């Protein structure tokens, strides 16, 4: 049955499920109807019977079981195939569905490939059953009434694309067949008349006679069975065979209809490969790898072998895609799969898990090499450069190893622990490996707990801003502040921003938190203005993600408008490294902010990798000397030289300079002597919550 001719009824009380199934099925060319309840479904079937029904079990009112029972009890609708859908995983749910009359069962969430295969196969069975029913009625009527017109019968059979055979049970010979049978098998009519059913089958005459007797007795298979028939050239064709017996006088005629399913088999194989193998590398995908690992662990447990799961993740593979494009990146991954395969023993398995992550199953029998030797082979083959667009590119990988049974006794645990070890190796550095340890799992669990708490903190806005004063060296008074994000966790240890800010970036939450910071800072500036204090310039640290992925300009504009703040009192601080990400977009964004009147400064200057050419292109107002150079500026001549150079460079570009981390009078004296404009650090004040900051401001201290 072609897809365009098939109408499918989707019955589910959940709208999003109906829409998802509609989309999946319409993409395959099927027509769809939907019903939100069992009662509505029965009404639709009565008006326009569909070709197949996808029926949810758990629905308010009439459930799926009752709908199926009513449909199957009605002769007019009993032949409509039903696939039960349910999130229930119990065996009893399947049994109940089949007892109610359903032909098949799918668990939610439905996998698209499996859904298409099940629907297609059931529609084919229905179409074939309808076809056989019409043929059977015709043959039965003609044979029983003995008024058959042989030429007409042959014409009807010849019109069919299926191979049709009439076999005399007593003589076990072919008495009639259609043209399709001759064409499919490659025999002429005369040649085929001299063949017996056993000549065309894998079964003997005795086995076929026993099967025919079962059919005559009503005990034969009621559904088409898969088999194969032998052609003249000795090859075999896979077929679906439906057989029925008809009484004619004192003898029985067996009618066999064989449908060539070669294309369907090939399609099923392609679908199976798509479902279980990675299309790029041809390796087992995550699903098949997991199944293979489960089977391997069972074998290892029975045989007393050790086993290892090894995960391999390329270091900085993103740069390959960014530099040469995804097509070249795919070529690297395909070659990587081949190289990893060359490192395996016969009993080992390699799979592609996701992106540039691969995994291996190593079966370690007694006397065989330990997994470390395989890992070293992997590192060795990776040291040979990859040829990318005519250039040699060196690649390294981070590798994690988990052992069975010491690190886990099931597939899920071993893959998880190998990944934990691999991520630990990636943190340590490139081109290295780590074995799993229990402490890694503790660390991973702690990180997961912190990530969950951080997500909740973002939703509930459970952050706080501390402010650290900036002091002008011309008069020694407070000239502004830097707003610093803090995460108070009652009853929990203090979490440094150096820990939770990168986590916010990894979780994709930094733009949302950054927007909150900008709103709070503008609100505080406005409050100081209303109180007659200030106004003060306040610097806000901005992540590169806020520029690239967020809507930094709109967030700042809205906050300034909402709190009626002059843009010149807001300063945006970015690190050198964030400036160099997506440079063109960053420059355009900063130029827009500069036009608004917002000040721009580079934080931690001297520790990044920006060139003087880029520094000239960026619309910058201020450079901040990193604390690393200030800490030993009075004792280390190199740090002193770097600090003086930054000050001179900034002033030559008409930029202001601020030094952070000033903690001693000697550091302050050096910076003052060398013309630094502003300073901040513990010598003046540590970052303070707003209440303590207000008390400090009321004292109006002079720090020089």
In this prediction, residue 146 carries a pLDDT of 43
Adjacent-strand bridge partners of 177: 165
Return mean pLDDT, the chain: 86
pLDDT-above-70 percentage for the chain: 90
In this prediction, residue 534 carries a pLDDT of 74
Top mean-pLDDT range of 184-193, 236-245, 270-279, 397-406 = 397-406
> What is the DSSP track for 482-535?
EEEEE---TTS----HHHHHHHHHHTT-HHHHHHHHHHHHHHHHHHHHHTT---
> Is residue 670 assigned to a domain?
yes
Instruction: Answer yes or no: do 285 and 259 share one domain.
Output: no
- Measured between alpha carbons, how far is 694 from 478 in angstroms, rounded to an integer? 12
Instruction: Look at residues 95, 110, 125 and tell me which one is the last residue of a structural domain.
Output: 110
CATH assignment of the domain containing 377? 3.30.70.270
- Of 161-165, 380-384, 550-554, 631-635, the poorest mean pLDDT is in 161-165
> Is residue 119 assigned to a domain?
no
155 pLDDT above the threshold of 90: no
Go through 213-235 and write b for each residue having 16 or more CB atoms within 10 A of its CB, e for each that does not.
eebbeeebeeebeebbbbeeeee
CB 332 within 8 A of CB 386: yes
Instruction: Answer yes or no: do 408 and 298 share one domain.
Output: yes
CATH assignment of the domain containing 631? 3.20.20.450
CATH assignment of the domain containing 202? 3.30.450.20
Instruction: Answer yes or no: do 497 and 428 share one domain.
Output: no
Instruction: Answer yes or no: do 334 and 428 share one domain.
Output: yes
CATH assignment of the domain containing 88? 3.40.50.2300
The average pLDDT across 681-690 equals 94
Instruction: Answer yes or no: do 524 and 652 share one domain.
Output: yes
Query: What range does the domain containing 64 cover?
Result: 3-110
In this prediction, residue 2 carries a pLDDT of 46
> Is residue 136 assigned to a domain?
no
57 pLDDT above the threshold of 60: yes
Strand pairing of 678-680 and 464-472? antiparallel
203 pLDDT above the threshold of 60: yes
Neighbours of 37 (CB within 10 A): 18
CB 144 within 8 A of CB 137: no
In this prediction, residue 416 carries a pLDDT of 92
Q: What is the pTM of this model?
A: 0.50
- Measured between alpha carbons, how far is 657 from 438 in angstroms, rounded to an integer? 48
> Is residue 140 assigned to a domain?
no
In this prediction, residue 224 carries a pLDDT of 80
CB 36 within 8 A of CB 15: yes
SS3 704: coil
153 pLDDT above the threshold of 70: no
In this prediction, residue 89 carries a pLDDT of 64
Instruction: Answer yes or no: do 291 and 252 share one domain.
Output: no
In this prediction, residue 608 carries a pLDDT of 56
Q: How much of the chain is in helix, strand and coil states, percent to nearest 5?
A: 50, 20, 30
Instruction: Answer yes or no: do 432 and 519 share one domain.
Output: no
Region of 234 (left: φ > 0; alpha: ψ -120 to 50; beta: rest) is left
Region of 581 (left: φ > 0; alpha: ψ -120 to 50; beta: rest) is beta
Instruction: Answer yes or no: do 594 and 679 share one domain.
Output: yes
The distance of Cα 684 from the centroid of its chain, to the nearest Å, equals 51
> Is residue 138 assigned to a domain?
no
- Of 256-265, 449-458, 525-534, the poorest mean pLDDT is in 256-265
160 pLDDT above the threshold of 70: no
- Residue 79 confidence class, pLDDT cut points 50, 70, 90: confident
In this prediction, residue 480 carries a pLDDT of 94
Which position has the higher pLDDT, 250 or 351?
Answer: 351
- Measured between alpha carbons, how far is 563 from 558 in angstroms, rounded to an integer? 9
- Residue 145 confidence class, pLDDT cut points 50, 70, 90: low
- Measured between alpha carbons, how far is 364 from 308 in angstroms, rounded to an integer? 8
In this prediction, residue 258 carries a pLDDT of 85
- Measured between alpha carbons, how far is 342 from 57 in angstroms, rounded to an integer? 49
- Residue 275 confidence class, pLDDT cut points 50, 70, 90: low
CB 678 within 8 A of CB 656: yes
Top mean-pLDDT range of 126-135, 172-181, 286-295 = 286-295
pLDDT tens column, 223-243: 788 888 889 888 888 988 888
Instruction: Answer yes or no: do 25 and 55 share one domain.
Output: yes
Is the alpha carbon torsion for 169, 174, 176, 180 positive or negative? positive
- Measured between alpha carbons, how far is 192 from 177 in angstroms, rounded to an integer? 9
SS3 390: coil
Cβ-based neighbours of 341, under 8 Å, separated by 6 or more:
283, 350
> Is residue 270 assigned to a domain?
no
In this prediction, residue 69 carries a pLDDT of 93
SS3 439: helix
> Is residue 248 assigned to a domain?
yes
In this prediction, residue 222 carries a pLDDT of 66
606 pLDDT above the threshold of 60: yes
Instruction: Answer yes or no: do 261 and 355 share one domain.
Output: no
Which position has the higher pLDDT, 107 or 272?
Answer: 107
679 pLDDT above the threshold of 60: yes
Instruction: For tokens 């079981």, name the residue.
Output: 65
Number of domains making up the chain = 4
The distance of Cα 213 from the centroid of its chain, to the nearest Å, equals 54
Two tokens, residue 571:
């300063």
pLDDT tens column, 527-584: 999 988 877 899 999 988 888 877 899 999 999 999 999 999 999 998 877 777 777 7
Is the alpha carbon torsion for 67, 69, 75, 77 positive or negative? positive
| Consecutive H or E run containing 484 | strand 478-486
- Measured between alpha carbons, how far is 698 from 701 in angstroms, rounded to an integer? 8
Instruction: Answer yes or no: do 313 and 245 share one domain.
Output: no
- How many angstroms separate the Cα of 14 from the Cα of each of 20, 56, 58? 10, 9, 10
- Measured between alpha carbons, how far is 347 from 362 in angstroms, rounded to an integer? 7
Instruction: Look at residues 436, 454, 483 and tell me which one is the last residue of a structural domain.
Output: 436
pLDDT tens column, 84-134: 888 766 677 778 888 888 888 888 888 888 888 888 888 887 776 666 666
Instruction: Answer yes or no: do 431 and 482 share one domain.
Output: no
pLDDT-above-90 percentage for the chain: 36
- Measured between alpha carbons, how far is 676 from 605 in angstroms, rounded to an integer? 14
In this prediction, residue 129 carries a pLDDT of 67
């Amino acid at each position: 049955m072609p897809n365009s001719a098939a109408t499918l009824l989707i019955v589910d009380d959940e709208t999003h499920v109906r829409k998802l199934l509609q989309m999946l099925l319409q993409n395959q060319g099927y027509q769809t109807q939907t019903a939100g309840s069992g009662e509505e479904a029965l009404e639709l079937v009565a008006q326009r019977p569909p070709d197949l029904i996808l029926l949810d079990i758990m629905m308010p009112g009439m459930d799926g079981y009752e709908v199926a029972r009513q449909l199957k009890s009605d002769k007019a609708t009993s032949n409509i195939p039903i696939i039960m859908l349910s999130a229930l995983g119990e065996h009893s749910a399947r049994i109940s569905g089949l007892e109610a009359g359903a032909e098949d069962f799918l668990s939610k969430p439905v996998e698209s490939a499996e859904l298409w295969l099940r629907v297609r196969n059931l529609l084919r069975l229905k179409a074939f059953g309808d076809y056989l029913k019409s043929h059977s009625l015709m043959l039965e009527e003609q044979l029983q009434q003995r008024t058959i017109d042989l030429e007409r019968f042959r014409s009807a059979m010849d019109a069919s694309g299926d191979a049709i055979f009439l076999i005399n049970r007593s003589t076990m010979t072919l008495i009639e067949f259609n043209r399709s049978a001759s064409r499919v098998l490659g025999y002429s009519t005369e040649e085929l008349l001299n063949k017996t059913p056993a000549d065309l089958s894998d079964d003997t005459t005795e086995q076929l006679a026993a099967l025919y007797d079962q059919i005559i007795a009503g005990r034969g298979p009621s559904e088409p069975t898969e088999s194969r028939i032998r052609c003249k050239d000795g090859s075999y064709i896979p077929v679906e065979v439906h057989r029925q017996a008809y009484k004619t006088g004192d003898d029985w005629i067996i009618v066999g209809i064989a449908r060539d399913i070669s294309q369907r088999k090939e399609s099923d194989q392609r679908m199976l490969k798509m479902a279980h193998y990675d299309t790029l590398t041809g390796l087992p995908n995550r699903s098949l790898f997991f199944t293979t690992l489960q089977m391997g662990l069972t074998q290892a447990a029975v045989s007393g072998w050790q086993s290892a799961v090894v995960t391999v993740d390329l270091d900085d593979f993103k740069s390959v895609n960014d530099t040469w494009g995804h097509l070249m990146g795919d070529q690297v991954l395909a070659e990587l799969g081949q190289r990893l395969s060359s490192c395996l023993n016969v009993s080992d398995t390699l799979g592609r898990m996701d992106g540039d992550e691969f995994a291996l199953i190593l079966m370690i029998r007694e006397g065989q090499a330990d997994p470390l030797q395989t890992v070293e082979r992997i590192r060795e083959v990776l040291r040979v450069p990859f040829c990318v667009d005519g250039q040699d590119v060196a690649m390294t990988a981070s590798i994690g190893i988990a052992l069975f049974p010491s690190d886990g006794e099931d597939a899920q645990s071993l893959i998880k622990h190998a990944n934990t070890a691999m991520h630990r190796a990636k943190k340590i550095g490139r081109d290295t490996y780590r074995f799993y340890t229990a402490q890694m799992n503790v660390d991973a669990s702690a990180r997961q707990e912190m990530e969950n708490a951080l997500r909740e903190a973002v939703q509930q806005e459970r952050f706080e801003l501390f402010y650290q004063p900036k002091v002008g060296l011309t008069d020694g008074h407070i000239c502004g502040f830097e707003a610093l994000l803090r995460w108070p966790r009652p009853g929990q240890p203090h979490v440094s921003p150096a820990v939770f800010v990168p986590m916010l970036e990894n979780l994709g939450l930094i733009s949302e938190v950054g927007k909150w910071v900008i709103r709070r800072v503008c609100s505080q500036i406005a409050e100081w203005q209303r109180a007659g204090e200030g106004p003060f310039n306040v610097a806000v640290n901005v992540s590169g993600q806020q520029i690239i992925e967020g809507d930094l300009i709109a967030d700042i504009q809205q906050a300034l408008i909402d709190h009626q703040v002059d843009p010149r009192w807001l300063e945006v601080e970015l690190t050198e490294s964030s400036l160099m990400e997506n440079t063109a977009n960053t420059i355009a964004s900063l130029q827009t902010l500069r036009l608004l009147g917002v000040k721009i400064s580079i934080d931690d200057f001297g520790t990044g990798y920006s060139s003087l050419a880029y520094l000239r292109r960026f619309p910058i107002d201020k450079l901040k000397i990193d604390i690393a150079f200030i800490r030993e500026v009075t004792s280390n001549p190199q740090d002193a030289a770097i600090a003086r150079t930054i000050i001179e460079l900034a002033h030559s570009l008409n930029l202001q300079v601020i030094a952070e981390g000033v903690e001693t009078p000697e550091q302050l004296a050096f910076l003052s002597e060398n013309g630094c404009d502003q300073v901040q650090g513990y010598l003046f004040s540590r970052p303070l919550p707003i209440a303590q900051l207000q008390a400090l401001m009321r004292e109006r201290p002079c720090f020089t």
